[in-house]
Amino acid sequence: MRIKLGFLFTLFAAILIMAGCVPPPDYDDVPFIRLEALNSTSLTMPGDSLVITIYFEDGDGDLGVNKEDDTTNLQFVNEFGCVLGSVKSGFDTSGMSNIDVVAANAFIVDPRIAGTCTRYYRLPYLTPKSKYKDISGQILITLTSLVVVNSPDTVIFDLYIEDRAGRRSNVIQTPPIIISK
């Protein structure tokens, strides 16, 4: 009996030591995203919301907006909430009215509105405080009050994110979504 307990203790200790030696993930510093889920592909407006679940990876963990640094990823937006261009790029807003400046780092492109309307979202500060900065997880984005151009209307949204260094992720697409009144 004593030999069995000693063997089991040694085996348990070896498993714990090996579990502690698992290397951290090694993600690219350019963010990567993948579409995980949609709550629906058929919506009725007004009233319904589209919830998009995105999986993300980032090698240096610089996603989201730091509360002390609200100047990260500044974008010019119009009164409809569409991104016109980034402040860093020197986008010219002369002669335009009702322009706001917002910090944004998640973007959804709606190709139906005036050619293209890119809606913006602000990810929370996600940088880990640990030695290893590689992060992964899920982001949920909720779209409400979608415009119905024609009823029924079918749209495929493009989505991407940017980290604080301005590196843009890959672009993903939703499946066709039917929006009706």
Q: For the chain, which residues make up each domain, given as ranges?
A: 25-180
The β-bridge partners of 12 are: none
What pLDDT digit, counting tens, does each position of 112-134 carry?
766 567 777 778 877 777 777 88
pTM over 0.85? The answer is no
Strands 106-110 and 158-161: antiparallel
Tell me which amino acid residue 151 is: S
Contact 159, 109 (CB under 8 A): yes
For the chain, the distance separating the N- and C-terminal CA atoms, rounded to the nearest angstrom, is 74
The β-bridge partners of 162 are: 168
What pLDDT digit, counting tens, does each position of 83-111 carry?
666 666 666 666 666 666 666 788 888 87
Q: What is the CATH number of domain 25-180?
A: 2.60.40.770
